[in-house]
Chains A and B, each alone.
Chain A
Amino acid sequence: MKGPRDKRMSIDEVVDTLEDGMTIGIGGWGPRRKPMALVRAIYRSGLKDLTLVSWGGADVGLLTRAGKVRKLVYAFVSLDSVPLEPNFQKARQEGTVPEVVELDEGMFNTGLQAAAQRLPFLPMRAGLGSDVLVNNPWIKTVQSPYDEGFGHEELVAVPALRLDVALVHMNRADQHGNATYLGPDPYFDDLFCMAADRAYVSCEQVVDTAGLSHDTPVQRLLLNRMMVSGVVETPNGAHFTTCTPDYERDEKFQRAYAAAAGGSEEDWQAFHDRFLAGDEAAYQAAVTAFRNEQEQQA
């Protein structure tokens, strides 16, 4: 019997499928389970004019710092234990991202749902009365055809957040694109995949299909292969964000990142040269060296 196709790819093969001007959605949440290995590869690529759709963390910081982003769609950008993302702040305060769409979080979720359902919009209350609608005058309202006793309510018609490509990071996947998260929260990764024409899943480990539900409830299988175009095995690929239970956030590294991002051009250049100039293997080696250094200082 023939099985479904093998979708394993390398990081570079994924980035080779991307084009200037594309709309790219990035899964995870703030500093949690971000497909950072893929983000780093975009950071050092020649890609430009991207539209980025993200629950923003260092992915947004890195790609805005590298001048990759023409349009940014977000509801927040934060590193949590470092509340404000210095590279994102710098980009906003210097006006280097030409177009900015700041949404309410619920609107962001609803926009992904609309896209995943192939609808042009979905109605909701969020945004009404706020400056989200003032700063994004292209977002329209829609009048309810029904009167439930409050008149024909005027609701926000949250536009679908259609993506060309979604990038997400999971704990385990099989070679066909079925994938499972082992931490407490799925975030919105399945919605990102369904909102996109193509989705690429990076993961800590590729296992055989039976292994996906061997020691974890089947309800954790968030992605099925219909949603997924490619699978990349990249251990520690979410670093320095969380990938619970495989690893937690690397707080020391995050502090070093934030200090460099919020420091002088020289500070950032030094961080770039040490960690981001080479490929993913070079990054991981530099992270290991950094960790050893920190332990010796402790």
Chain B
Amino acid sequence: MSTSTDLTTADVCAAAIADAFKDDGEIFASPMGMLPMLGVRLAKLTSNPDLVISDGEALFLAGVPPLFAKADKVEGWIPFRRVFDVVAYGKRHVMMGATQIDRQGNQNISAIGDFAQPKRQLLGSRGAPGNTVNNRTSYWVPRHSPRVFVEAVDIVSGVGPSRAAAAGPAASRFNDIHRIVSNLGVLDVNGPERTLRLLSVHPGVTVDEVRAASGCEIHVDGADSDVPETRLPTTEEQLIIREVLDPKGLRFKEVPRPEAAT
């Protein structure tokens, strides 16, 4: 039987991601990346059975299969072009990656350096500009570091609340940056003037460690000691993660298991 000593950071992250989707009701959860996919499926099996999930390609899934399993009961068709319809419709919560994220909650997946001739070309802005002005958007950062959390992103792909407000009501009406989950803690953008705020630190992580791993100021409500620990996955959640959704331990490719404690 599993005990709390078996708990890994990856499991804590999965539960924190699931919590980001628990109050969404009947909307399309669009996870990008392994832990977001795990967290969304965990939410569907626990806190929010109404969530609509897909195979990441063209099908809405009626069941909740393990990560990357092929066969499952299908409940709908969501080819790439129809995703844009749902984005505009608004019944969607996407969790994206972020190569950079800044204090204002802006995100960059386009390029590092000057846009005209970047030091490092990344994917391109993909759907981030449209997601952030149309539907709820969260971010997943598997390696919290000062290179990811920066004072100002090089290129604004995803739009934070201040930029959205400055662009007018058409941009700000549906701008909803919900959660940023990293391997160290959980943040939102409800600090002073809609800046990054630390909501919780994962077990074994201190607020100072989060600060040291961030290249910009991270707001804390009250004293550092007031910042709670991210909740542990319940026994049921641990079982679902280990036995149902990710029996092969694929999650540890994104958030490595620590060296076994002695």
The docked-state distance in angstroms from the alpha carbon of A165 to that of B85 is 26
**When the two chains form the complex, which single residue of B79, B110, B130, B173 contacts A107, counting CB atoms closer than 8 Å?**
B130
The docked-state distance in angstroms from the alpha carbon of A104 to that of B156 is 11
CB–CB A130/B128 < 8 A: yes
Other than A92-B117, A129-B166, give 7 A-B pairs with Cβ distance below 8 A: A77-B124, A102-B110, A105-B130, A128-B170, A130-B163, A131-B157, A185-B79
CB–CB A126/B164 < 8 A: no
The docked-state distance in angstroms from the alpha carbon of A200 to that of B23 is 48
The docked-state distance in angstroms from the alpha carbon of A77 to that of B121 is 10
Interface residues on A, range: 35 or more
Binding stretch for chain B, among A42-50, A83-91, A249-257, A285-293: A83-91
Within 8 A of B (CB), among A226-278: none
B205 interface residue, CB < 8 Å from A?
Answer: no
**When the two chains form the complex, which single residue of B58, B88, B164 contacts A128, counting CB atoms closer than 8 Å?**
B164
A137 interface residue, CB < 8 Å from B?
Answer: no
The docked-state distance in angstroms from the alpha carbon of A77 to that of B122 is 8
B63 interface residue, CB < 8 Å from A?
Answer: no
CB–CB A106/B127 < 8 A: yes
CB–CB A184/B164 < 8 A: no
Chain A 43-87 near chain B by CB (<8 Å), digits 1 or 0: 000000000000010000000000000000011111000011000
Q: Which residues of B contact A186 (CB under 8 A)?
A: 79, 81
Q: Which residues of B contact A88 (CB under 8 A)?
A: 121
The docked-state distance in angstroms from the alpha carbon of A188 to that of B81 is 7
**When the two chains form the complex, which single residue of B80, B134, B175 contacts A185, counting CB atoms closer than 8 Å?**
B80
The docked-state distance in angstroms from the alpha carbon of A164 to that of B206 is 58
Within 8 A of B (CB), among A115-132: 124-132
CB–CB B79/A187 < 8 A: yes
Q: Which residues of A contact B170 (CB under 8 A)?
A: 125, 128, 144, 150, 153-155
The docked-state distance in angstroms from the alpha carbon of A155 to that of B88 is 13
A213 interface residue, CB < 8 Å from B?
Answer: no
CB–CB B130/A125 < 8 A: yes
CB–CB A128/B167 < 8 A: yes
Q: Which residues of A contact B110 (CB under 8 A)?
A: 102, 131
Interface on B for A, CB 8 Å cutoff? Answer: 57-59, 77, 79-81, 84, 87-88, 110-111, 115-130, 132-134, 155-159, 163-164, 166-171, 173-175
Within 8 A of B (CB), among A124-155: 124-132, 134-135, 144, 150-151, 153-155
Closest to A56 in B: B124
The docked-state distance in angstroms from the alpha carbon of A129 to that of B155 is 11
CB–CB A125/B84 < 8 A: no
CB–CB A129/B159 < 8 A: yes
Q: Which residues of B contact A104 (CB under 8 A)?
A: 125-130
A95 interface residue, CB < 8 Å from B?
Answer: yes
Q: Which residues of B contact A184 (CB under 8 A)?
A: 57-59, 77, 79
Q: Which residues of B contact A109 (CB under 8 A)?
A: 81, 84
Q: Which residues of B contact A134 (CB under 8 A)?
A: 156
CB–CB B125/A103 < 8 A: yes
Q: Which residues of B contact A94 (CB under 8 A)?
A: 117
A93 interface residue, CB < 8 Å from B?
Answer: yes
Given A29-B80, A106-B130, A130 and B157 contact (CB-CB distance below 8 Å): yes
The docked-state distance in angstroms from the alpha carbon of A209 to that of B87 is 37
CB–CB B57/A93 < 8 A: no
Given A185-B57, A185-B58, A187-B81, A130 and B129 contact (CB-CB distance below 8 Å): yes
The docked-state distance in angstroms from the alpha carbon of A149 to that of B136 is 21
CB–CB A130/B111 < 8 A: no
Q: Which residues of A contact B166 (CB under 8 A)?
A: 129
CB–CB A84/B121 < 8 A: yes
Closest to B107 in A: A130
> Which of A93, A126, A187 has the most C-beta atoms of chain B within 10 angstroms of its own C-beta?
A126
CB–CB B133/A125 < 8 A: yes
CB–CB B155/A131 < 8 A: yes
Q: Which residues of B contact A125 (CB under 8 A)?
A: 88, 130, 133-134, 170-171, 174
CB–CB A151/B169 < 8 A: yes
Instruction: Tell me, rounded to whole Å, the shortest Cβ–Cβ distance linking A103 to chain B.
Output: 7
The docked-state distance in angstroms from the alpha carbon of A103 to that of B171 is 16
> Which of A77, A83, A105, A144 has the most C-beta atoms of chain B within 10 angstroms of its own C-beta?
A105
The docked-state distance in angstroms from the alpha carbon of A124 to that of B128 is 14
Q: Which residues of A contact B80 (CB under 8 A)?
A: 29, 185, 187-188
The docked-state distance in angstroms from the alpha carbon of A134 to that of B114 is 12
Q: List 13 A-B contacts (CB under 8 A).
A: A75-B125, A88-B121, A93-B120, A95-B117, A129-B132, A129-B167, A130-B129, A151-B168, A153-B168, A153-B169, A154-B167, A154-B168, A186-B81
